[in-house]
């Protein structure tokens, strides 16, 4: 019996030990992930245990977090999520464990590459925010974010003040007419200069810049700000967090009062009732000031300025209070406009419509589609119709998003932002409608490309896989534009700069394990003629049985708009009269046109063979005799020929037409045309000389110049061939302070010396083949 009890005791002891061991491991794991700044729900990606509250349109605010690289957007994101309880510990860029930078390429580079959606539940409101990339090469993410949000929160690095990236991003904010709040960050840095930063802001953005706060001191001792809206002093302990709020000290009271009065005037200035109240009482209540500031924000009449140290979590809570109390709600912002130009009222109960503004592909999940509810509301399990691709989709699950953390929600209403997974046939920029909606949106407009390279897999066997990867990459970033050029026999990727395409290369080689090479793309030249010429060609072939016979006489001349057509041609002493029987114009897919005129008399060529002659001419125009480029803008007159009652057929006349055209083309003063682009360069005045000199070295034709808010704008026409690597040169000449855009304008004749060099190069390449 004693032995029996001993056995039972041993078994129980072992089970207790196992249970304690498992509990200990669980405890350690939980605290390890918290220490790394990663919640368990983030580690598993999908948090489906608890459903979030459904927020209404009048409880939702959508905000873009923007600023130059290094201004601290990702660090501020961590502080905001920590303050609102989404994460228990703040991650850091150095530790590669932040919520918003969770892609491997972002860990590699140490800053944001893609816009990251996150949210905070704060003061009974839902703050949807998007952390935007700061580098100019990733402007597509900035434009996407600003297009689906209502307010921009612009971070300014207190060490540097207004930077090139600040100016470039502000232009996008201004273009989209979004309210803007400036947040001066890194005030704890030893080189921080708040007063100079504010001077920079006012110099660049005018007197609409109004202080809400100012620091008592900057540098490592930074720990307090005066809030002139609330007229209180906010002080933090060394680790930041919840501030101590006290009265403003006497030695700061005069400055604070002056700034408070400026703020009150700004709040009252643009709202008639508040202005009357201010004139009557000489002041406004706190709530009235908030209302006035909100009104000023919506109409872009006020640009408030806040002070923070995101790294130390100082000032972040107060900033979030302002976002919750003052920043415009979705209902306060302009209604979305559909593709047909009609405004769409968001609160249409049975008129659900969502717009997919971003797609990402994530490990173990696949495609994640981020969307904004444009009208009505959507629920889990809703069947929607993709109006862009004309297909059906089902929202099997919908989530509120916080980086890689996704929290399940029952429904989302107009103005809200969310995500869904595994849609079958939906892509970025698609509109999905409920059964009662008939809407389509296309309001995100991306800039033209600025940098391009030909791309090829090192291993030819990977070409098909590379094509699939490039298509997917374009979905994730629409400013990566993929062109499969039949003409150039190259795949060309276009982007916003050298670093933009380097990022693409890194992702393909490291994520998809395909080695690739970049090279300079070929130039899509065109060929044309400059004078009139004639030729004839007889195709005759006899090989037993029925043979082949066709003879074509034709004239070619330049096709110039507005030039009258001739009735008589004198060529090499021969006079040829033309009687137009039929005239066809063929717009060419590569630009320009072919005019094909039937002037056959007496039935010397049967009408049924004329289409074959035209096809033969087109065969030749698809590969011009000078450089193998497409030919364009040519008028062809078929005026004579011969046929055989037995041996003539379509192939005979197709070949006869082709070779007659080729012979005439060589005698018609053939010339090469090159693509010319309209280029706009925005450059600081101090760099004008270097930039102008560089453009002239690229055969640019300067069309004009004008001043634009402290910058100079240059308008020029530049050959595409000369724009290779221009973004690198411009950045070098201006220390990164300039920007440019380019758009195709026209084809123009290549200068003779350049054409001679091109033809020699082409002949060498043909010999090498």
Instruction: End-to-end CA distance of the chain: give it in Å, rounded.
Output: 97
**What pLDDT was estimated at residue 768?**
65
Following DSSP, what letter does each residue of 417-436 receive, concatenated?
A: EEEEE--SS--TT-EEE-TT
Measured distance CA(240)–CA(90) in Å, rounded: 12
Return the bridge partners of 519, or none.
454
Whether the Cβ atoms of residue 236 and residue 223 lie closer than 8 Å to each other? yes
Measured distance CA(134)–CA(68) in Å, rounded: 5
Structure confidence by residue, pLDDT tens digits, 698-729: 999 999 999 876 789 999 999 999 998 899 99
Angle at 439 between CA 434 and CA 440, to 5 degrees: 120
DSSP state of 549: E
The phi-psi region of residue 307 (left if phi > 0; otherwise alpha if psi is between -120 and 50; otherwise beta) is beta
**What pLDDT was estimated at residue 17?**
52
Dig out the tokens for 653 from the structure: 């006349």
**What pLDDT was estimated at residue 5?**
45
**What pLDDT was estimated at residue 529?**
96
Whether the Cβ atoms of residue 419 and residue 399 lie closer than 8 Å to each other? yes
Structure confidence by residue, pLDDT tens digits, 391-435: 999 999 999 999 888 899 999 999 999 999 989 999 999 999 999
**What pLDDT was estimated at residue 282?**
82
The H or E element spanning position 748 is strand 739-749
**What pLDDT was estimated at residue 14?**
54
Q: For each successive 10 residues of the chain (769 residues), what is the average pLDDT?
A: 48 50 47 35 41 88 95 95 92 87 82 90 95 93 96 97 90 95 97 96 94 97 97 95 96 96 92 86 89 94 97 96 94 90 80 94 87 95 95 95 90 96 94 93 93 96 96 94 93 95 95 96 95 96 83 96 89 90 94 95 94 96 90 96 93 96 94 96 91 96 87 94 92 87 94 92 76
**3 state SS of 750:** coil
DSSP state of 314: B
Dig out the tokens for 243 from the structure: 């501030």
Q: Of 39, 38, 46, 9, give the one whose Cα is nearest residue 408.
A: 46
Whether the Cβ atoms of residue 493 and residue 481 lie closer than 8 Å to each other? yes
**What pLDDT was estimated at residue 94?**
86
Measured distance CA(321)–CA(330) in Å, rounded: 17
**What pLDDT was estimated at residue 95?**
87
In 10 A of CB 373, how many CB atoms?
24
Measured distance CA(575)–CA(260) in Å, rounded: 91
Measured distance CA(658)–CA(442) in Å, rounded: 45
Q: Of 630, 675, 638, give the one whose Cα is nearest residue 660.
A: 638
Q: Secondary structure of 23-57 in the HEC alphabet?
A: HHHHHHHHHHHHHCCCCHHHHCCEEEEEEECCCCH
**What pLDDT was estimated at residue 769?**
59
Alpha-helical (H) ranges within 164-249 are 164-175, 194-205
């Amino acid at each position: 019996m004693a032995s029996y009890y001993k056995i039972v005791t041993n078994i129980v002891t072992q089970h207790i030990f196992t249970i304690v061991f498992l509990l200990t491991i669980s405890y350690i794991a939980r605290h390890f992930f918290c220490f790394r700044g990663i919640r368990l729900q983030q580690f598993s990606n999908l948090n489906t245990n608890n459903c979030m509250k459904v927020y209404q349109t009048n409880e939702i605010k959508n905000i873009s977090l923007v600023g130059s690289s290094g201004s601290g957007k990702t660090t501020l994101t961590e502080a905001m999520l920590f303050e609102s309880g989404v994460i228990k510990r703040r991650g850091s860029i150095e530790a590669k464990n932040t919520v918003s930078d969770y892609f491997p390429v972002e860990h590699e580079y140490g800053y944001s590459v893609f816009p990251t959606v996150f949210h905070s539940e704060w003061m009974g409101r839902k703050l949807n925010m998007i952390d935007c990339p700061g580098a100019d090469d990733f402007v597509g993410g900035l434009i996407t974010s600003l297009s689906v949000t209502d307010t921009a929160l612009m971070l300014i690095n207190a060490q540097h003040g207004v930077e090139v990236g600040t100016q470039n991003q502000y232009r996008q904010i201004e273009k989209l007419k979004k309210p803007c709040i400036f947040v001066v960050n890194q005030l704890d840095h030893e080189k921080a200069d708040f007063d100079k930063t504010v001077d920079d802001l006012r110099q660049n953005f005018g007197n609409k810049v109004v202080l809400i706060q100012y620091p008592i001191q900057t540098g490592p001792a930074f720990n307090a700000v005066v809030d002139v809206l609330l007229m209180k002093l906010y002080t933090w302990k060394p680790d930041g967090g919840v501030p101590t709020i006290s009265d403003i000290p006497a030695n700061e009271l005069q400055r604070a009062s002056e700034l408070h009065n400026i703020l009150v005037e700004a709040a009252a200035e643009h709202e008639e009732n508040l202005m009357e109240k201010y004139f009557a009482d000489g002041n406004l209540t706190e709530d009235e000031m908030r209302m006035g500031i909100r009104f000023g924000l919506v109409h872009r009449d006020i640009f408030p300025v806040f002070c923070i140290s995101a790294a130390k979590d100082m000032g972040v809570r107060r900033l979030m209070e302002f976002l919750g109390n003052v920043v415009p709600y979705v209902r306060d912002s302009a209604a979305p406009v559909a593709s047909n130009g009609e405004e769409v009222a968001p609160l249409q109960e049975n008129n659900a419509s969502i717009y997919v503004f971003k797609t990402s592909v994530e490990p173990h999940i696949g495609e994640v589609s981020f969307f904004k509810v444009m009208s009505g509301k959507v629920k889990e399990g809703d069947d929607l119709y993709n109006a862009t691709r004309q297909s059906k989709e089902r929202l099997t699950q919908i989530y509120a998003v916080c980086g890689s953390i996704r929290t399940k929600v029952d429904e989302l209403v107009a103005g809200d932002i969310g995500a869904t997974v595994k849609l079958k046939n939906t892509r970025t920029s698609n509109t999905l409608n409920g059964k009662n909606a008939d809407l389509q949106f296309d309001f995100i407009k991306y800039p033209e490309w600025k940098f391009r390279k030909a791309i090829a897999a090192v291993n030819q066997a990977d070409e098909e896989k590379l094509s699939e990867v490039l298509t997917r990459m374009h979905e994730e970033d629409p400013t990566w534009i993929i062109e499969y050029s039949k003409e150039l026999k190259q795949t060309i990727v276009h982007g916003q700069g050298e670093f933009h395409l380097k990022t693409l290369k890194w992702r393909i080689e490291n994520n998809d394990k395909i080695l690739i090479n970049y090279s300079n793309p070929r130039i899509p030249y065109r060929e044309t003629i400059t004078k009139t010429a004639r030729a004839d060609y007889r195709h005759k072939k006899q090989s037993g049985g029925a043979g082949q016979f066709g003879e074509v006489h034709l004239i070619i001349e330049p096709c110039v708009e507005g030039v009258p057509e001739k009735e008589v041609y004198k060529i090499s002493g021969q006079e040829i009269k033309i009687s137009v029987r039929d005239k066809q114009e063929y717009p060419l897919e590569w630009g320009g046109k072919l005019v094909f005129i039937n002037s056959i008399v007496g039935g010397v060529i049967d009408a049924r063979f004329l289409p074959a002659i035209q096809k033969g001419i087109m065969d030749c125009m698809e590969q011009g005799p000078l450089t193998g480029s497409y030919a364009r803008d040519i008028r062809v007159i078929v005026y004579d020929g011969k046929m055989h009652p037995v041996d003539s057929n379509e192939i005979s006349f197709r070949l006869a037409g082709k070779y007659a055209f080729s012979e005439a083309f060589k005698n018609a003063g053939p010339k090469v045309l090159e693509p010319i682009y309209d280029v706009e360069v925005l450059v600081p005045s101090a760099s004008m000389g270097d930039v102008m000199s560089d453009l002239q070295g690229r055969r640019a034709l300067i069309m004009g110049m004008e001043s634009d808010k402290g910058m100079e704008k240059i308008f020029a026409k530049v050959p595409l061939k000369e724009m290779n690597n221009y973004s690198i040169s411009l950045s070098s000449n201006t220390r990164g302070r300039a920007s440019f855009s380019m758009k195709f304008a026209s084809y123009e004749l290549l200068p003779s010396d350049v054409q001679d060099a091109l033809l020699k190069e082409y002949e060498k390449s043909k010999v090498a083949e």
